[in-house]
Chain A
Amino acid sequence: MTVEKAPVHGLILAGGASSRMRRDKAALEYEGKSQLDRAYELASRHLARVYVSVRASQARDPARARYQLIVDAVAGEGPIVGIRSALASQKDAAWLVLACDLPFLTDLALEQLLAERDPAALATAFRSAHDGLPEPLCAVWEPAAGVALDAYQAGGGLCPRKFLMRHTTRILEPRDRRALDNVNTPEEYDRALSLLDSPPMQLKVQYYALMREQAGRSEETVETSAATPGDLYSELQARYGFTLSREQLKVAVNSEFAPWSQRLAAGDAVVFIPPVAGG
């Protein structure tokens, strides 16, 4: 059976309490722009209609009031209320729901989500690179999720992630692993700022064996914003079509083995190490 695809609208969740951040997360600025504005602009590049989800008490906040709002129309707390309110407002629409604390979200992530969306599931969501669970706040929620969410909350359910785990959800492996890194604390905000505001840097990359042949070169200088060797490998794998998966490789930075999460600095020399075969 083919399922008719409902039109997708965007929903930026800007009603959160931001309790751990102790500041309004929607108002945090990156690269001179509030996260609400950044998320709205990102979604608008992919969707014709984008709305902002707010609590009733926030509807007059100037930063929010400039957008088309969906004010919480059902009782309760948390993002599930915003999602339910959107689904109730237009029964035939699906919603691409985006939290307001995902500063690393990219066009690539939204393209993947929309292209691989499964309208026969209640939702299509990425698998979190951190805990392997579905990420409900960067996901497409289908119209049929409305009734199921109403029943879930009526039964005492609060957590949209648990909802996705218990219902038919299409789970995607994110091509952009960093896209879902969220920012909940002042420390995470500082880190995100330093990553996002860092200009592209030059790294030296050397290739050996199979990877040298696939890249068609033994070394090059790469201009990149990749924060870690893991990010850099994703970027270069997309460029050269390396057949080895990251799990098969080790990595060296400045001629010493390094963790995939090591922070790269300008001028670092990076070598990806395919499975070895000496002797």
Chain B
Amino acid sequence: MRFRFCQHPIDTESARRELADGGAGGYVSFEGWVRDFNEGREVTRLEYEAFQELAVKEGERILAEAAVRFPIKHVLCIHRVGSLALADMAVWVGVSAAHRGEAFDACRFIIDEVKHRVPIWKKEHYRNGDSGWVNCERCAAAPHAHDHAHDAA
């Protein structure tokens, strides 16, 4: 599987090695980190939860779409689930390609699509003791056609 979940800190070094290819002229990666504020509130930690069976299918579809849109060599996406502390890495995307332009474009495409489409949820815990599911509670009054999530970074 090129789209995976893990319970433990993401091993970016071994992930990066999976992208190695003699025909690749470059490699681009994106790391999403847990940030200490969101929409004006101080965040102390996050919990991630996924509907893994469908999430892996949808994630794989996104990676396959990226490979059709952009001439890339290899691609990999790893998402954490469970409880994460500030500055922890929540998601890692890596792409190798013959040329850097495609690698950048594909990496950007993948992280944007993952945030929109893959059934993963995060609960923010705030400094004042409150908590809330992102996109589900404060915004619950109105459906959103667009992505309202913030980067974990």
* Chain A residues within CB distance 8 Å of chain B: 206, 208-210, 212, 243-245, 247-248, 252, 255-257, 271, 273-279
Contact = CB atoms under 8 A, between A and B. Distances in A.
A277 B135 contact: yes
Contact of B51 (A245, A247, A273, A277): A273
Contacts, number: 89
A255 B115 contact: no
Contacts of A209: 49, 121, 123, 133, 136
Nearest to A211: B136
B144 interface: yes
Given A255-B53, A256-B57, A271-B51, A279 B121 contact: no
B149 A274 contact: no
Name, among B53, B91, B111, the residue most crowded by chain A CB atoms within 10 Å (CB to CB). Answer: B53
B115 A279 contact: yes
Given A255-B54, A271-B54, A210 B120 contact: no
B135 A206 contact: no
B64 to A, nearest CB: 16
A279 B133 contact: no
8 A-B pairs closest in CB distance: A278-B120, A209-B121, A275-B135, A277-B134, A279-B115, A255-B53, A210-B133, A210-B136
A271 B139 CA distance: 21
Contacts of B148: 275
Dominant secondary structure at the B interface: mixed
Contacts of A279: 32, 90-91, 111, 114-115, 120, 149, 151-152
Given A208-B49, A243-B140, A248-B143, A276 B116 contact: yes
Contacts of B135: 274-277
B136 to A, nearest CB: 4
A58 to B, nearest CB: 49
A210 B121 contact: yes
Interface string B89-125: 0110000000000000000000100111111111100
User: In the complex, which of the residues B118, B119, B123, B143 has the most CB atoms of chain A within 10 Å of its own CB atom?
Assistant: B119
A81 B137 CA distance: 51
A278 B122 contact: yes
A276 B120 contact: yes
A75 to B, nearest CB: 50
A233 B152 CA distance: 31
A243 B139 CA distance: 11
Residue of B116, B123, B136 with most partner-chain A CB within 10 A: B136
Contact of A245 (B79, B122, B143): B143
B118 A278 contact: yes
Contacts of B149: 276-279
Contacts of B133: 209-210, 274, 277
A206 B140 CA distance: 21
Contacts of B143: 245, 247-248, 275
B78 to A, nearest CB: 12
A243 B134 CA distance: 14
Nearest to A249: B143
Interface centre among B32, B50, B116, B121 (most CB of A within 10 A): B121
A22 B78 CA distance: 61
Contact of B136 (A244, A257, A271): A244
Nearest to A248: B143
A275 B144 contact: yes
Contact of A208 (B51, B114, B137, B144): B51
Contact of A278 (B53, B91, B144): B91
